[in-house]
Amino acid sequence: MSIRERLSGNEASAIAMKQINPDVVAAFPITPSTEIPQYFSTFVSNGSVDTEFVAVESEHSAMSACIGAEAAGARAMTATSSNGLALMWEMIHIAASSRLPIVMPLVNRTISGPINIHNDHSDAMGIRDSGWIQLFSENNQEAYDNLIMAHRIAENKDVMLPLAVCQDGFITSHAIENIELLEDDKVKEFVGTYNPEHYLLDANNPMAVGPLDLQPFFFEHKHQEAVAMNNAKRVILEVAKEFEKLTGRKYGFFEEYKMNDAELVIVCMNSTAGTTKDVVDKLREQNIKAGLLKIRVYRPFPAEEIAKALSNAKAIAVLDKATGLNACGAPLFTDITSAMFVNKTFVPTVNYVYGLGGRDTTSKQIEKVYSDLAQIAKTGIVDNPYRNFGLRGDE
């Protein structure tokens, strides 16, 4: 029987880590993820876990310590945000290319500068093609559930890639919500024991980690990473099916909210989905066929499945809580439109950048997006595909 609690997203993530009981956690504090290792350190000090907690001098060192621990055969975790992730950037790629299934709660916060400690998705977008699996979480329950599933996905022998569980800084990380926790023994059984096939402390099978990798082999090793990322799609669904049997909570690549007959569709990630669902409900009462596609699995990107889910829409808006600074659309938009084009799904699509640096997102703004979509659906014309909402002077 599940345990009902009231927790912030950071608390929920720390409790998931306690129940997983990793061998090593290495962390350095950065707002708004600081509470996760802080809460976890209390579990270490009171004996709730037997984890080796490594307090390091920087986030670069935190990821380096996780790489060393995982390469030695231990299950390793850390947590970070924003500039902390940026400081890890070198080691982020090394973790993935070394095929080390480290799991990391990533509490999304804008990348400075200018200096800002509030939420957007620019940190996650900075590592989107680094070889890390990325799961996004609308609320505290999803952050908890995604972490419980994370090791089963990352450590699968056909995957062996690191994984980041994203949630919105402050909006969910510090907001208290009702949540259903699993019992410790059920989590332990579900996650299982980490038994790597290759590790540095296996004296009978010596190996090297991170050697110089020149022209004869480098290309093939990167291709193997790409194959593993593709394999992760199958594994994510397999693990989600087992998790549903355990909890009754169903997860896929994305959530389709009132999409059966939807003509006007918003695509977004994380906490904005909650606001959008409220707007969809309101519009449905007015007989407006609005729908929402909430992306949960961002890497690997489920391109074919997304294109199919959007194929019956008449107009689509992709909401990006990060800007591309490329003059041709923000990251989620370019992924969505690429997926649709390759899979021969041709629906008028527009991009909205919003919420940068933690700027509030309101129901009124989402309603305006659906109003814009109604006009696009009526005319078939997208006069400007690259838009903003919430920007002073635009409204």
- 18 close to 43: Cβ distance less than 8 angstroms: yes
Residue with the bigger pLDDT between 394 and 286: it is: 286
- Give residue 54's identity as a one-letter amino acid code: V
Average pLDDT over residues 180-201: 97
- CA atoms within a 13 Å half-sphere pointing along the CA-CB vector of 241: 6
Element (H, E) at 147: helix 140-154
**Percent of the chain whose pLDDT exceeds 70:** 99
- 259 close to 292: Cβ distance less than 8 angstroms: yes
- 140 close to 179: Cβ distance less than 8 angstroms: yes
Burial annotation 165-181 (CB, 10 A radius, 16+ → b, else e) = bbbbbbbbbbeeeebeb
Closest by CA to 7, choosing from 164, 178, 153, 137, is: 178
Average pLDDT over residues 328-335: 97
Residue 334 has pLDDT above 90, yes or no: yes
What tens digit of pLDDT does each residue of 227-274 get? 999 999 999 999 999 999 999 999 999 999 999 999 999 999 999 999
Residue 395 has pLDDT above 80, yes or no: no
Rounded to two decimals, the pTM is 0.98
Instruction: Tell me the angle at which helices 184-191 and 140-154 cross, rounded to the nearest 10 degrees.
Output: 40
| SS3 state of residue 91 | helix
Average pLDDT over residues 136-147: 98
Average per-residue pLDDT for the chain = 97
- C-alpha angle with apex 32: 26 to 36, nearest 5 degrees? 40
- 148 close to 191: Cβ distance less than 8 angstroms: yes
pLDDT at 1: 62
**Residues in CB range of 305: below 8 A, 6 or more apart:** 253, 254
Residue 156 has pLDDT above 80, yes or no: yes
pLDDT at 379: 96
pLDDT-derived band at 366 (thresholds 50, 70, 90) equals: very high
pLDDT at 2: 82
Q: What is the DSSP letter of 122?
A: H
What tens digit of pLDDT does each residue of 44-53 get? 999 999 999 9
pLDDT at 393: 83
What tens digit of pLDDT does each residue of 2-37 get? 899 999 999 999 999 999 999 999 999 999 999 999
Residue 109 has pLDDT above 80, yes or no: yes
Q: All domains of the chain, ordered by start, with CATH? A: 3-247 (3.40.50.970), 254-388 (3.40.50.920)
What tens digit of pLDDT does each residue of 71-95 get? 999 999 999 999 999 999 999 999 9
